[in-house]
Structure 1
Amino acid sequence: MSEPPEMTTFMHGDHSKPDGYVKALGPDTGLARLFAFFESDGYSDPSAAWQAFTSTWNWAAPLTTADPAAAFGPGPVVQPAMSGFTLSGAWHVPSYDGTAAWLALPLGGGEQQGRHATVAHGDPDLFVVPSEALRSAVRGFDDGVAGPLFRLEDVHVPAGFVTHSAGTPLRPGDAAFLWTAVAALALGAARRMTDVLAGSAPNTASPAATWPMPPAAAAELAAMLHDERLSLAAVVHGAPSVRQGTPSSVEERLAPLVRQAGHAVHQVVASVYEHALASGGTGPRRALVPLIEGSAPILHQARYVTELLPPDGRSSPRRAEQGDYRRISG
C-alpha cells in the first residue's frame, strides 16, 4: 500500500521560534498536514518536539482548573521525580461536583519557591491529575465561593501530564487537533527507535552482529508502526481543521485509531526497551535508552489523550479509573 500524499512530504519544526510554530501549525491547520508534520517532528527529536508542543499549546486549558490556596499555607511545591514530578500543596476546586475525570492544578503565577525545588519562569507549571487523586486528599475549608479546599502530598504526575499555562489555550472543540498531534508524535518517536535498532536512523551506526534483536523482529515492529500510520493518515486525509469544523464522523473514526496507535506504540517501545537492556552496555543500549527516556512524556500522553480531552468537553467513555496513570513508565 502506498503512502497517502500527506505522508510523503514533511516539514520540520523550528523549536527555537515558538511564535512561528504557533502560526504554522495549530487548530486552524488541516488534520492531514498536522499529522505529517508532527510525525516527522517526533521522529527528528522527540524530546524537543514535546517541549515545543507543550510550550506552544496549553492542552489542559479545557479541563476543570483549580486555584492555588496560598492563604492556607505555603504555595504548591513541585519536585522532579522519575518520569515526571511529585506535586504537593493546597487547591480550591470551584464548583467541584466529582464528575470531572481530570483536573488541572496550576502552581500559580510567578516563580514558585518550594521545599525541594524552584520552578522558574518558562518551566512547566500546570499539572493534570485524575479526579480520583482527590478522594484520598484531605478536604478542608469551603467558603461556598472558592470551592472546597484539597491538600495533596507528593502526588506523582507523569511528564506527559504537564504543560505550560502560558501556552495558547486549546478549546474544548480542539480535541481532534490534540489527538492527531500526540498520536503523530508518538508514532514518529517509535519509528525513530525502530530505525535506530536497525541502524538506519540518521547519525546512528550500522547495527553490529551482536545486536540482540533479529532483523526480522525489528522489521516486524517497523511494519506495525507503518500500518498504524497508514490507518490514521487515511482517516485525516482531506479532513478540515478543527476550527473549520471537523465532522463528527471523522472524530468517531479517529478516536479509536488514536487509542489503537497508542497501544501499538507502547508495544513497540516495550519490545525495543527489552532488547536494549539485553544488549548490556553496548551500542543498542547507549543509543536507545536515552531516546526512550526522552520520548516518555509523549508516551504518557498518547495512552490517555482521548480521555484527557474528549470532543467538546463531553465525558470520556473510558474514564480515568479504567487505569492508574501513575503506573505508566513510558
Structure 2
Amino acid sequence: MSKLPENTTTTARGDYPRVVGPDTALSRVLDFFELDGYSDPSAAWRVFTRTWNWAAPLAAAVPAESLGARPVARPVPEGFVLTGQWHVPPGAAPGRWLVLPLTDTRRDAKTEAANAPDLFVTTSRVLPRALRTRRAVDDADGAGPAFRLDDVQVPSGFATYSAGTPLRGDDAAFVWTAVTGLAFGAARRLTDTLARLAPNAAGPADTRTQSRPFAATPTAATPTADAADELAAVLRDERLNLAARVHGAPLAGRADALRSAEALAAQIRRASRTVHHVVAAAYERALPCTVDDGREPLVRLVEESSPILQYMRFAVELLPPGGQSSTVEG
C-alpha cells in the first residue's frame, strides 16, 4: 500500500501516483483528497482527472474522421458543448454510459486545446435516434450505427482526459472515496467561508464536540455563524460515518469484497446527498447577509466545486458495484 507522507499538501499533486492511488488504503485516500479539496477544489479536480482516466471502464464511441463530421468540444459555463459525429460501439445498450472522445487526442502541447478534456461521458439514451444514419453500412464494417450531436451540453464533472492512467471497474471504490473526499473538503471550506461572513466572526466555529442529524437545516432566523456551525457538524458526522466504513475495507481479491463494495456504495450515495444539502444550505444562508459582490467568495467556491458535485451525484452509477468487472473494491 502507498503511504501518505506527513504534511502532504496540494504541492504533491504532480506526484499523485506515487503518493496515493487505487492500491492505497481507502482511509488514507479519504484523508488525502479531503485536504486537496479543501485547499483548492477546482485545481484538485483538474489534476485528479488528468492523473486518472476514471471513464476507462465505460463503453467508448468511435469518433468520425470525415471532413465536417469530426467532433469538437467548446467550453461553456458549467461544462462543454459537443458537436460532431460518432459511431455507437457494437453491443452498446440503451441507457449505458458512453464515452464520447474527440477525434484528435494528439494535440500540440503548446495549444490551449491540449490542456482541455478530450473524453466526455453521457448516456446512450440521450443520443438522437432520428439522426443515426447508414446503419447497414456501419454495422457491416463493425463501426456501429452513426449519430450526430449538435451543441449538446456535457457537465464539467463528466469530462476527463485520455492521457490519464486508465482505471478499471475494480478501482471504483478508490474513485468513489477520492471524489467524496474532494467533496467533503470543498464543502468544509464553504462552511468556513460562511462562518467568516457573520458580523464580528473570528473564524469557523469548533464542531468537534457537536453532533447533528442529517436532516438538520438552519432556519431563516438562525444567525449566520450558528448556521455555519450546524452545517459543519452535519458534514463532520457524515464524514466520520464514511471514515468508519472505509477503515479496514477488504481488497478486491477478498471473497467479501463485493458485499463490502455494495455497502460502501450505499454510504457514498448518502454522503453525496449530505454534501449537496450542506452546499445548498450554506449558499442560501449567505444570501441575506451579503450584497452586490459581497457573496463573491461563496459564488466562486460553489462554481469551483461544481464538477466534483456533478460527478459525485452519479459516481456509483458510473462505476457500479459488480459492474463491468467482477469486483469494484480499490
TM-score by length of 2: 0.81
How far does the alpha carbon of each residue in 1:115-170 deviate from its partner, in whole angstroms, 9 at most, with x for none? xxx86223200000122111456101232211110111111100000000100000
| Runs of 5+ consecutive residues of structure 1 not aligned to the other structure | 1-5, 316-330
Question: Residue in 1 aligned with 2:161?
Answer: 164
Paired residues, what number? 296
What letter corresponds to residue 317 of structure 2 in structure 1?
Answer: E
Question: Residue in 2 aligned with 1:192?
Answer: 189
What letter corresponds to residue 243 of structure 2 in structure 1?
Answer: A
- Range with greater deviation from structure 2 (288-297 or 74-83): 74-83
1: CA distance, partners of 2:285 / 2:195? 12
- Give matches, 1:72-221, under 5 Å: 73-110=68-105, 120-136=113-129, 138-142=131-135, 143-144=138-139, 145-199=142-196, 206=202, 214-221=224-231
Question: Residue in 1 aligned with 2:212?
Answer: none
2: CA distance, partners of 1:36 / 1:10? 12
1:280 to 285, 288, 291: 291
- What SS does structure 1 have at the residue aligned with 2:153? strand
- What SS does structure 1 have at the residue aligned with 2:248? coil
2: CA distance, partners of 1:74 / 1:214? 53
Q: Which of structure 1's runs of 4+ aligned residues deviate more than 6 A?
A: 243-246
- Do residues 225 (structure 1) and 235 (structure 2) align? yes
How far does the alpha carbon of each residue in 1:260-286 deviate from its partner, in whole angstroms, 9 at most, with x for none? 111111111111222333322364x12
Contact kept? 1:96, 1:148, Cα under 8 Å: no
Question: Residue in 2 aligned with 1:265?
Answer: 275
What letter corresponds to residue 271 of structure 2 in structure 1?
Answer: A
| Runs of 5+ consecutive residues of structure 2 not aligned to the other structure | 204-221, 326-330
- What SS does structure 1 have at the residue aligned with 2:115? coil
1: CA distance, partners of 2:80 / 2:12? 24
- Cα–Cα, structure 1 residues 206 and 287, in superposed 2: closer, same or farther, change >3 Å? farther
1:307 Cα deviation after fit: 0.4
- Computing the radius of gyration from Cα coordinates, the structure with the larger value is 2
- Cα–Cα, structure 1 residues 153 and 181, in superposed 2: closer, same or farther, change >3 Å? same
Question: Residue in 2 aligned with 1:323?
Answer: none
Question: Residue in 1 aligned with 2:37?
Answer: 42
- Cα–Cα, structure 1 residues 10 and 222, in superposed 2: closer, same or farther, change >3 Å? farther
How far does the alpha carbon of each residue in 1:182-231 deviate from its partner, in whole angstroms, 9 at most, with x for none? 1111111001100111129xxxx846xxxx95222211111110011001
Question: Residue in 2 aligned with 1:324?
Answer: none
1:250 Cα deviation after fit: 1.9
1:55 to 33, 46, 50: 50
What letter corresponds to residue 240 of structure 2 in structure 1?
Answer: L
Question: Residue in 2 aligned with 1:299?
Answer: 309
What letter corresponds to residue 230 of structure 1 in structure 2?
Answer: L
- Range with greater deviation from structure 2 (304-313 or 293-302): 304-313
What letter corresponds to residue 292 of structure 2 in structure 1?
Answer: G
What letter corresponds to residue 8 of structure 2 in structure 1?
Answer: M
1:110 Cα deviation after fit: 3.7
1:97 Cα deviation after fit: 3.8
Contact kept? 2:129, 2:147, Cα under 8 Å: no
CA root-mean-square deviation: 2.9
1: CA distance, partners of 2:49 / 2:303? 17
2: CA distance, partners of 1:103 / 1:141? 20
1: CA distance, partners of 2:85 / 2:57? 21
- Range with greater deviation from structure 2 (177-186 or 133-142): 133-142
- Range with greater deviation from structure 2 (104-113 or 51-60): 104-113
Contact kept? 2:251, 2:257, Cα under 8 Å: no
What letter corresponds to residue 123 of structure 1 in structure 2?
Answer: A
Over the matched positions of the two proteins, sequence identity in percent amounts to 52
- Cα–Cα, structure 1 residues 276 and 126, in superposed 2: closer, same or farther, change >3 Å? same
What letter corresponds to residue 27 of structure 2 in structure 1?
Answer: A
- Cα–Cα, structure 1 residues 180 and 124, in superposed 2: closer, same or farther, change >3 Å? same
1:240 Cα deviation after fit: 4.7
- Cα–Cα, structure 1 residues 270 and 300, in superposed 2: closer, same or farther, change >3 Å? same
